[in-house]
């Protein structure tokens, strides 16, 4: 596996971890600070998916969190 493939896999996993954090936090705390952080994580996930899709398009592969290689929306 090339370095760029490792980086794509890492970024994909980090995006997935952020998505999991959002889901867990939504269930727990109505605190305004958590709501602000959840909003930040959602934006970060969206930006990460867009960046990952742009990078993967150069290599003919499209991914995003919760998707396998070449699957899902980018």
The sign of the torsion formed by the CA atoms of 49, 19, 43, 11 equals: negative
Q: What is the pLDDT of residues 34-45, one digit of tens each?
A: 888 888 888 888
Tens-place pLDDT, residues 39-70 = 888 888 888 888 888 877 766 655 564 544 44
Rounded Cα gap, residues 9 and 6, in angstroms: 5
Per-residue pLDDT at 69: 45
Q: pTM of the prediction?
A: 0.59
Residues 6+ apart with CB under 8 A from 21: 41
Question: What 3-state class would DSSP assign to 1?
Answer: coil
User: Which two tokens mark 5?
Assistant: 């493939």
DSSP 8-state secondary structure symbol assigned to residue 31: -
């Amino acid at each position: 596996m090339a370095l760029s493939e490792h980086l794509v896999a890492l970024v994909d996993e980090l995006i997935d971890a952020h998505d999991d954090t959002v889901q867990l936090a939504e269930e727990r705390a109505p605190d305004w600070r958590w709501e602000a952080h959840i909003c930040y994580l959602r934006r970060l996930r969206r930006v990460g998916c867009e960046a990952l899709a742009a990078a993967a398009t150069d290599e003919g592969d499209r991914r995003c969190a919760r998707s396998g290689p070449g699957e899902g929306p980018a």
